[in-house]
Amino acid sequence: MQRIKVLFVITKLELGGAQKQLLNLIAGLDETRFELFLFTAKEGLLVSEAEALQGLRIKKSKYLKRALSPFNDIAAFLEIRRFIKRNGIDLVHTHSSKAGILGRWAAWSAGVKNIVHTVHGWSFHDCQPWLAKRIFIALERITAGFTAKLIVVCQRDKACGLKNRIAGEEKYSFITYAIKHEDFCLDRKKAREDLGFSAQDSIVGMISCFKPQKSPGDFIRVASLARDTAPNIKFILVGDGVLRGKIEKLIDKFDLKDRVILTGWRRDIPQLLSVFDVLILTSLWEGLPVVILEAMAASLALVATNTGGVEEIIKDTETGFLVARRDIAAISKKLGLLLKDKVLRERIGGAARDFVAANFYSRDMVLKHSALYSGLIRREAYYAN
């Protein structure tokens, strides 16, 4: 049987949840059934990991960028279109908002019938200006018209798509994320020793890109309120991005230089999670944050803003704490409860680990994608005959 040629398009292979999940999917697909291609930006922290995947052919574009740019966007569109036609691609699967629009339009214009998009959170959200939100909704509706399937990773995104009339019920497929559970079974004591922390230190962490969506400044504000919640308390912010300058100014403003550690981007996320006592996420909007699944797999107690699909994986008071967006006082209060009560932390962390182990595993995620791709190709062949 001839292999199905699948092209994945993602804006940039940065150290994010959508990117890690895509590489996890590519690594798991059967090479005897699928010939795999990837179109992405030239630079990205995970490019080397993609290059290490056996059998994957990668096209790195200098034009595909996150920021809006008429020249670069048109150039990227044409480049994707040429790549599709040159390689005889059978199915295009796009990820991330920018690539999701450009990649699907390029695939449609190149004559591809099987176009799939994964919604890692919609391109529109409640924190946008009204006009911008309406424009993105209109773009998503038009583009969904020639998209064969929209994969949602949480039910909240499906409900949001239906509410905004992006597409009808029949176009949605639910395939959630997956976690490599064995990566998060590290020795907590050894991890602390390796990174220079003692058993007496109380470590509160957040892992995110420094961008408005994640609202990392709220993490610093929580640190300011909770600085005396526990002895030897330290706040670790893992990541980087456009808001770094503002973060550094907030640290100075609240006199937190001796309390807050900025690590920059790190690859040793499982080890870092093993060091934390509590993980915080201060996002203003989300799809399904992978870092929460990773923290749960590491048996961590969590405090997260209730946005997107977060409430589908955190059951308040049982597998973590949910708070309203921007409610710094509530985050600080829940954090204080967890830091003062080790039994509570361990109970919540254990329940979180059990929930993730029962619901998020790689083999299931890969098999569902494989079945979706094969089904679309069979349908195309049936109608062609």
152 shares its domain with 282: no
Tell me, what's the pLDDT at 112? 97
Tell me, what's the pLDDT at 380? 76
Read off the pLDDT of residues 3-24 as tens digits, 9 standing for 90 and up: 999 999 999 998 888 999 999 9
65 shares its domain with 78: yes
Q: Domain count for the chain, please give it.
A: 2
Read off the pLDDT of residues 29-43 as tens digits, 9 standing for 90 and up: 999 999 999 999 998
163 shares its domain with 23: yes
C-alpha distances out from residue 144 to 68, 148, 337, Å: 20, 8, 45
Q: What is the mean pLDDT of residues 283-288?
A: 92
Close Cβ partners of 337 (under 8 Å, ≥ 6 residues apart)? 321, 344
What is the DSSP code (8-state) at residue 229?
Answer: S
Q: Please report which confidence band the pLDDT of residue 164 belongs to, taking 50, 70 and 90 as the band edges.
A: very high
Buried b (16+ CB within 10 A) or exposed e, 119-154: bbbbbbbeeeeeeebeebbebbeebbeebbbbbbbb
349 shares its domain with 255: yes
355 shares its domain with 304: yes
Q: What is the mean pLDDT of residues 342-368?
A: 93
In degrees rounded to 5, what are phi and psi of residue 153?
-95, -5
Q: Is the pLDDT of residue 383 over 70?
A: no
Q: Are 13 and 50 in contact (CB under 8 A)?
A: yes
Tell me, what's the pLDDT at 199? 81
Token digits for 328? 């710094």
129 shares its domain with 241: no
Query: Rounded to the nearest 10 degrees, what angle do helices 130-144 and 97-109 cross at?
Result: 40
Q: What is the mean pLDDT of residues 85-109?
A: 96
131 shares its domain with 68: yes
Nearest 5°: CA angle at 338, between 333 and 344?
135
Element (H, E) at 319: none
Cα–Cα distance measured from residue 62 to residue 138, given in angstroms and rounded to the nearest whole number? 28
CATH code of the domain covering residue 310: 3.40.50.2000
Rounded to two decimals, the pTM is 0.91
Q: Is the pLDDT of residue 227 over 70?
A: yes
C-alpha distances out from residue 36 to 85, 315, 375, Å: 15, 38, 17
174 shares its domain with 207: no
* Torsion (CA) 281, 287, 292, 294 in degrees, nearest 10: -140
Domain that holds residue 79: 4-178+361-384
Q: What is the mean pLDDT of residues 127-131?
A: 91
Tell me, what's the pLDDT at 273? 93
Q: Please report which confidence band the pLDDT of residue 294 belongs to, taking 50, 70 and 90 as the band edges.
A: very high
Q: Are 70 and 39 in contact (CB under 8 A)?
A: no
Where does the chain have alpha helices with state H? 17-28, 47-51, 70-87, 97-109, 130-144, 155-163, 188-194, 216-226, 244-253, 269-275, 290-297, 310-313, 328-340, 342-359, 362-384
18 shares its domain with 51: yes
Tell me, what's the pLDDT at 179? 87
Read off the pLDDT of residues 240-268 as tens digits, 9 standing for 90 and up: 999 999 999 999 999 999 999 999 998 88
Tell me, what's the pLDDT at 267? 87
Tell me, what's the pLDDT at 15? 84
Residue whose pair of structure tokens reads 């992978």 in the numeric block? 290
Is 266 buried (19+), middle (13-18) or exposed (0-12) by CB count in 10 A? middle
138 shares its domain with 198: no
Element (H, E) at 38: strand 34-41
Q: Are 272 and 236 in contact (CB under 8 A)?
A: yes
Q: Please report which confidence band the pLDDT of residue 127 belongs to, taking 50, 70 and 90 as the band edges.
A: confident
Q: What is the mean pLDDT of residues 279-285?
A: 96
30 shares its domain with 168: yes
Q: Please report which confidence band the pLDDT of residue 181 belongs to, taking 50, 70 and 90 as the band edges.
A: confident
203 shares its domain with 143: no
- Name residue 264's beta-bridge partners: 238, 239
Q: Is the pLDDT of residue 225 over 80?
A: yes
| Mean of per-residue pLDDT scores for the chain | 93
SS3 category, 214: helix
